[in-house]
Structure 1
Amino acid sequence: MLTSGILVVDKPLGLTSHDIVMRIRKKLGTRKVGHAGTLDPAATGVLVMGVGESTRLLEYLTAADKVYEGEVCFGQATDTEDAVGNVVAVKDAGFLTTDLVVSAARSFMGVQWQQVPAYSAVHIEGRRAYEWARAGSVVELPHKKIEIYELKVSTFEAGSLATAKFSVHCSKGTYVRSLCRDWGTVLGLPAHLKSLRRLQSGLFSIDESVTLAEFLADSRPEHYILSALEGLRELAWVEISSSDASCLRLGQRVPGNLELQNGPVAAVCEDELVAIVWPQWTKDKNCWLQPHKVFGKGEQ
């Protein structure tokens, strides 16, 4: 059984991301399972997971942009900013029109600072934000730099509680429920996220995912697991010789022939991942590949 690689799961409604990890661990008989990019229990869709040694690659997959489709409810706010929480504010949204909602959506395009929700895992003064919220304590919530690349309204339904279905392409770390909260604020209304589905995480699409039920029911679930190299589609690759592969695995840097670039690079020998390396350059612009994480032969 292939016990190392990348798995793309279509997370069902009602389960936490950690719940998915626990079920995959039990099915594969290994504790080495993790995920990149948490989805709330009330959300569904793409959850990228690492299995075996590939859990060490997850940090390179979490920085990817995300694409979601969802539904926002205008006229009602909840303490969690989604449909799960308790209603904390109500206001008639009957005046809203499609044009007003679309115009407000346009105001979110680009880079901005977003205040994180009270019910989030962000650390504040040594505790998670949701721990302060559950205790009834009021703390100053931090703001995170995010970017909205596209926010499109597909349908709008008027009413005292108006709803709009939308799609959003955003940067890592964007809270879509907070986006809905702020969307309402621009319109002078309380608002919350009614439903959310992640369609894409980086280059991983819902079209290549497997449902949790399908995975758990399959007698040979390993065929759903992508190789480490298939999973590292976000990174640049560099081909190296077998002798350089041996050096990298010993923690030694080797010469490279990369063009000037930043960020991690996958060093590959004979279609096998050898290491994640960081390019370094001398004053005369010679390139060296410094190993950051190395993988033994056959580990991937």
Structure 2
Amino acid sequence: MNDSGILVVDKPQGWTSHQVVGRCRRLLGTRKVGHAGTLDPMATGVLVVGVNRATRLLGHLALTSKSYTATVRLGVATVTDDAEGEATSTAGAAGLGDDAIEAALAPLRGDIVQVPSTVSAIKIDGQRAYARARRGENVQLAGRPVTVSRFEVLGRRDATADGVAVVDLDVVVDCSSGTYIRALARDLGTALGVGGHLTALRRTKVGGFDLVGALTPVALTADPPRRPALIPLAEVARRSFACLELDADEARDVGHGRPLRRPVPAEVTALLHDDELLALYRPEGERAVPVAVLVG
């Protein structure tokens, strides 16, 4: 079957994003499946999966804003900035007050420069940072600009972990693409002088896609498997991009990848005709040119 569209998966904990893609290939009976925005195995939540022609949209969908809920543990730092790595410091968080936490959160909001975790998938001289770090190399990553539009504490729990007094914060984060929630946990702990790492992460939204109607872990692994319904390309476009409706002559030209002889409203604009997504175009002077053509 050659159906094209987007599938939103609620990724199970312990699965890699690649494993989810492999399962979706079997469920949908096609090899042409990819995902937008990797989630670590520890994380759960929204993974946007593109099928057939929708794979051409994934690079653009991955660049959109994202939302998360997470748990940050203060008092312990780890080599990976999350619960999967060995502890590098156990200063503890006894006596840590809410006012101090709020004061440390403030500089981590807004337009900031963030140094990604050393175990990120960023490439250094063609090799993933995490691969170099696991070989024991000294990995130095450059800071990069990101936007954290929301970083708030929803709840606090004081506890003891392996004899260390810790503070667990349940937080919510809205941020730009490329933001590492692990790095926010690390930097919050560093600012407070006690160390910090991530113990839980759930992605609740990627652009216009959230967990409502997402393919659940139970449905993902059902036996016998059931073919899930895809979000059609036209709906994906309306959720994700500025849209422009074309007449029949324009649609014919776009199907051949020709320039559109009028401006488009955004840097990436979806062009539609008769409820079909034809292409993504970008402005070029008083006309527009193709970014990705999905028909023809």
TM-score, scaled to structure 1: 0.91
Aligned residues: 289
How does 1:277-292 map onto structure 2 within 5 Å? 277-281=281-285, 287-292=286-291
1:174 is the counterpart of 2:179: yes
CA deviation profile, 1:96-133 (whole Å, cap 9, x unmatched) = 12222222212211111111111111111232111111
State the Cα deviation string for residues 61-115 of structure 1 (Å, max 9, x = none): 1111111111111111111111111112111210212222222212211111111
What residue number does 2:16 align with?
16
Q: CA deviation at 1:249?
A: 1.6
Quote how far apart the aligned CAs of 1:293 are.
1.8
Pick which of 136-145 and 34-43 moved more: 136-145
Counting only pairs closer than 5 Å after superposition, residues 261-276 of structure 1 correspond to structure 2 as 261-276=265-280
2:259 and 2:45 map into 1 onto residues whose CA distance is: 40
Secondary structure of residue in 1 paired with 2:93: coil
Partner of 1:250: 256
Q: How far did 1:220 drift? A: 4.9
1:55 corresponds to 2:59 = no
**Alpha-carbon offset, residue 216 of structure 1:** 4.5
% identical aligned pairs:
38
Distance in 2 (alpha carbons) for counterparts of 1:73 and 1:296: 49
For 2:133, what is the secondary structure of its paired residue? helix
Paired residue for 2:214?
209
Q: How does 1:89-104 map to 2 (within 5 A)?
A: 89-104=89-104
The residue aligned with 1:231 is: 236
CA contact (8 A) 1:2 1:222 kept: no
- Which residue is equivalent to 2:113? 113
Secondary structure at the aligned position of 2:212 is classed as helix
**Alignment gaps of 5+ in structure 1:** 282-286
Answer yes or no: is the 8 Å Cα contact 1:27–1:216 preserved in 2.
Answer: no
Secondary structure class of the residue paired with 1:63: coil
Amino acid at match of 1:71: T
TM-score by length of 2: 0.93
Q: Which residue of 2 aligns with 1:284?
A: none
Query: Contact 1:43–1:195 at 8 Å: present in 2 too?
Result: yes
- Cα-to-partner distance string for 1:187-230 (whole Å, 9 max, x where unaligned): 0011100101011111111123121331453765242x100121
**2:27, 2:225 within 8 Å by CA — same for their partners in 1?**
no
Range 11-20 or range 198-207, more displaced:
198-207
Q: Answer whether contact 1:25 1:32 (CA < 8 A) is retained.
A: yes
- Does the 8 Å CA contact 1:156/1:164 hold for their aligned counterparts? yes
Separation of aligned partners in 2, 1:215 and 1:17: 13
Distance 2:19 2:225 in 1: 21
AA aligned opposite 1:274: L
- 2:25 is matched with 25
Unaligned runs of 5+ in 2: 160-164
What does the per-residue CA deviation read over 1:154-201, in whole Å, with 9 as the maximum and x for residues that have no partner?
Answer: 111234111111111111101001100000011001110010101111
Question: Which residue of 1 is the match for residue 144 of structure 2?
Answer: 144
Alpha-carbon distance, 1:141 to partner: 1.6
